[in-house]
Structure 1
Amino acid sequence: MKKLVYAFKNTDTEVMRSTSGGAFTGLCNAFELLHKNRKKYIYGAELTSSLKVRHTGVTSAKECSIFQGSKYVKSDCKDCYFEIASQLKNGCFVLFSGTPCQVAALKTYIDREGITKDRLFTVDLICHGTPKTRVWNDYKEWLEKKVHAGLKEYSFRYKPEGWKAYPARACFDNGVVLKNTALLSVFSRLHMSGYITAKACFSCPFSNMDRPGDITLGDFWGIENMNTAIPWKYGVSLMLVNTENGMELVKGLSDMAQKNQELFLEEVKSQEYRKYQHNLSRQTEKPELYDEFWKDYDQTGFEAVIKKYINYGMKYKVVFLIKKVVRKTPFIHLYRKKRRGKIR
């Protein structure tokens, strides 16, 4: 089928719990309605109480709140492929969400087992590259030493602090709660720099429009430049519908949006969105100092490399604070336009 593109925004409550527009939660509800009288499972990545990222299966859309919010760490899928194969073999319907390589790996496994994929619905994410688990573990330990307490909760993108700046939130067992501080920006800075991305991601075969999932999800960057009635301040989801299975779910979303005025679903005819999604046309570029970074990491450890490669220190903290203040003023819009090359 011809690929269709949509912008989606869930209810305000769901959007504030989500990374962008709450599309996956909406798809989970649509999937449940589509198969309401059948046995079904929904799989996604959760951040466990021990702050490990793993894929988990649930049996209702209500339980899918554990999947909300991005987790910029490689998810452990080792058990769920076998589970999903057994469920499909037993006539169950399954919705699986993950990175493109995880979706492709699941489909390969199902094919190898000789199981039909008619009852499998898949959602892949527009992926910038997966940070290594080792760095996440070292970062948690570093944070705990800085705060002198155990880390209990972590949000990689804390929506009340804004949609576009990747602000984080952390709760510690001594009652300390940090929101969008220089300390919490370190992991996302490393991630966006590419230094902690798994090496295989730089040659990702899925960084194009030929997607492995029935639906592809991402942040709808650039939505503010579209002629749209969708309120975008706290996030809107980009949805690429790649297959008939994906279209079934979108039809369910459409029915939900007609009954609930808080939901917005709008077909997008323009290709403008592709300008803001470089991973739909090319792989994330390997940093020039990537190999040197990892050599230093092995020899000197986490704190030494963040000082050397992202200049973590007093100047870093001052610049972070200035940027944080500027983001709350109208000047941030001029800055973003300049970055896009719209003003010289």
Structure 2
Amino acid sequence: MTEKLLLLKYILAFLVCSSFLQIVNNSPIRNVTPTKMVRTHENPWIEHWEIKKQRAISSWSYTDPEAWQHSFPTCGSNLQSPINIETASLSAYPKFYFGNYGNIDRMTVTNNGHTVLFSLPSSIPAESIPFITGGGLSNRYNFVQFHFHWGNDSSHGSEHRIKSKKYSAELHLVHYNTKYGSFSEATKYDDGLAVLGVLIKVGKKINSPFRAVVDQLNEVDEDGDETTLVNLISFKDLLPSRTTTFFRYSGSFTTPGCEEIIIWTVFDDSITISESQLSKFRLLKGRDSLTLVNNYRPVQSLSGRTVTYRSHSGCHITINWSHISSPIVDIYQYSTCVFSFYANSFLTILGVNL
């Protein structure tokens, strides 16, 4: 028993030192509190609206995203999304809890001319609605819909980038803060919406759970088409295998009117689908019967915002030390946290109870 604990001590000391050196090499951006900008929701991208209403207020395209701000001034503001994530400050967020993220039956699929939306059936019981808590979110956020962004080939398509790397596509799972009572009311507040961004890359194997997503896309190949899924969709299978590490920042819708009311979570672990599965998205038609591809907004300026990162251990360390702070104390607290995390993990594996 004593030998096991001694060996564990040396292993943990090595891991702590390695973790600290890695963090020091990735200096975070400066801490700036974003300016709150609250706007009323007028964005057809995020909710399942009537097709006629969508067409009436969605006179924009991906041909010239820089022109959006002429008709939608907020699109030229400072807290816009998506972004290129280069560096981040570690934060001790708790893990996410994914409630009711199992199989969902009879989802509605809509081609709105800009993307394909997957919405909950109106008949779903309130107690069965998927939701998220934890992950640094202050309240329960109920699921509304998910949609995708993709390119005309697999070299690009994602909206967010990590260290300038482009992914083949990106999935957004949209949720609203239940403390406001409804999705529409939640869009009036800067903590009203939480979106999970899942980066998608292409691999050789078919993603079996993803078949339910793509198998009926041919039924919504034209702008305005809508259908009901026959197969169940497992929300858990839409998430990456590791959800304990992610980036967090305050941002906006990535479409007009670009309202800055979204708490963004971008997982650094991606999911993989096959080229044949992704190619089915490229067969869809958008506005004016044009092929629906490259439906992603270019990355926007960070404009002094802080991007934070949850490590696997959930431990936090401050790198922006001022001349009056004590880095020794920060290092000690971080090392204690990491030691505790790995100690619990290893001792659980060894079947040792402290």
The TM tier, using the shorter chain, reads under 0.3
Give 1 or 2: higher strand fraction: 2
Larger Rg: 2
Q: Calculate the TM-score normalised by the size of structure 1.
A: 0.25
